[in-house]
């Protein structure tokens, strides 16, 4: 299993979520793919894709992992969107969730985090450190174990969340 380490220069937000996923070609491509998918789904749902909603979609597309609503507001303001506020961001996130375009991660620490949900079902699991830092991981053996477990339990799997709770990194 490879826990992706924060890249040098990754910004640590007030909540400790890392801007750690920028840069790799596959991640940029995944963001573009998701953003296109989101626009299609929103349009098919008869929703405008302009304005504040498009800005939130843009922030989520640019981030490969989880963001809090506060993180999103901060990024919108960094981009010069002076009117960005929590209420409208939450409203947009609710809309995107209802359309299965974002996944909400409840890591058990009272902070809801959101990340783009790719149409192919690709997903992260996360390590939540005690200092609030959060890092994504993927592990094929874990996926196989979860599917085997579901079949032993005789349930049809429609989703799963895995959060590992870890002590802070010392390195
Ligand atoms: Zn993630
Ligand atoms: Zn999984």
Q: Is 120 part of any domain?
A: yes
For 31-45, the pLDDT digits (tens) are 999 999 999 999 999
Rounded Cα distance, 15 and 110, in Å: 11
Instruction: Report how far ligand 1's centroid is from the alpha carbon of 65 (Å).
Output: 4
Residues, CB-to-ion distance under 5 Å, ligand 1? 65-66, 115, 124, 136
Q: Are the CB atoms for 95 and 132 separated by under 8 Å?
A: no
Q: Which domain holds residue 118?
A: 25-166
Q: Are the CB atoms for 155 and 20 separated by under 8 Å?
A: no
CA 111, 117, 121, 123 dihedral sign is: negative
Number of independent structural domains in the chain: 1
DSSP H helices in the chain: 25-44, 51-62, 69-78, 86-98, 140-153
CATH number for the domain harbouring residue 66: 1.10.10.10
Instruction: Report how far ligand 2's centroid is from the alpha carbon of 142 (Å).
Output: 7
Q: Is 8 part of any domain?
A: no
Q: Is 92 part of any domain?
A: yes
Of 43 and 26, the one with more pLDDT: 43
For 68-102, the pLDDT digits (tens) are 999 999 999 999 988 899 999 999 999 999 999 99
Residues 6+ positions from 108 with CB-CB distance below 8 Å: 128, 163, 165
Parallel/antiparallel/unpaired status of strands 134-137 and 112-116: unpaired
Give yes or no for residue 1 having a pLDDT over 70.
Answer: no
pTM, two decimals, is 0.80
Q: Is 6 part of any domain?
A: no
């Amino acid at each position: 299993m490879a826990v992706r380490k924060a890249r040098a220069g990754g910004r640590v937000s007030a909540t400790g979520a890392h801007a750690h996923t920028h840069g790799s070609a596959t991640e940029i491509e995944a963001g573009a793919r998701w953003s296109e998918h989101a626009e299609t789904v929103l349009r098919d749902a008869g929703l405008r894709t302009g304005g504040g909603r498009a800005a939130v979609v843009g922030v989520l597309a640019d981030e490969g992992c989880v963001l809090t609503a506060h993180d999103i507001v901060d990024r919108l303001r960094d981009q010069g969107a002076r009117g960005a506020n929590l209420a409208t961001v939450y409203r947009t996130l609710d809309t995107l969730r209802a359309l299965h375009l974002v996944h909400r991660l409840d890591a058990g620490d009272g902070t809801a985090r959101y990340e783009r949900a790719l149409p192919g079902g690709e997903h992260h699991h996360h390590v939540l450190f005690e200092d609030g830092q959060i890092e994504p991981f993927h592990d094929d053996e874990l996926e196989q174990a979860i599917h085997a477990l579901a079949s032993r339990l005789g349930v049809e799997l429609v989703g799963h969340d895995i959060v590992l709770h870890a002590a802070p990194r010392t390195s």
